[in-house]
Amino acid sequence: MSLRNSWLGNIYYNVLQRFILSRIEKKDINPNKITIIGGIIALFVPIGFYFSELLGGLLILISAVCDSLDGQFARKMGGNEKFGAFLDSTVDRLSDFFYLMGLWIVALQTQHKMVLTLLLFIALCLTLLFSYTKARIEGLGGTCNIGFMERAKRVIFILILSVLLFFFNQNTLLLYSMIIYNLLLGFSVYQRILCAKEVLN
């Protein structure tokens, strides 16, 4: 089940609508500007993690909120801007990279830095595969909306991990967290491969 359509997602988007979107609607801003702002904030995530895991997590949170706002704003405007959708997906991949780079900054400070570097490379590869498989299926005329580790869940996973890293031992926590992250994401890629086999045959 997608988080967007869950009760938690409904609460989140209602809060955005009431406290943020209603205010920015009156200003000279459009969904694409919000997308770009979110992408720029993502660039600073590794620097944030260099100083503090909480700061890195806060920057991820702000960037993710921008990512939520641009789509919600675009839907409320009633537009069907294809470039906006393209820009949003492109900036999402950029943000994914810098979120994981932030965790790599933390990994460099642990005794498992080589293993964690490998795990983070695998995470980046699986993240790209997860996004690519859906895009490729849709490019071939199919539809695939399954995959457990959708972007919202990946962002929440990293956000929670950022907070935990601030309070607990980084060596073992980050190591086991990235193993779990990769297993879940690998399973999600497998789900989409099965989906492709079903809808494209």
- 181: CB partners within 8 A, 6+ apart: 123, 154, 157
* CB contact at 8 A, 121 and 192: no
* CB contact at 8 A, 122 and 182: yes
The residue from 67, 70, 88, 92 that is catalytic is: 92
Angle at 70 between CA 65 and CA 72, to 5 degrees: 95
Q: What is the DSSP string of 130-160?
A: HHHHHHHHHHTT------SS-HHHHHHHHHH
The amino acid that residue 34 corresponds to is I
CA atoms within 13 A on the CB side of 83: 5
- Clarify whether 70 is annotated catalytic: no
Which of 47, 48, 41, 43 has the alpha carbon at shortest distance from 70? Answer: 41
Catalytic residue numbers?
92
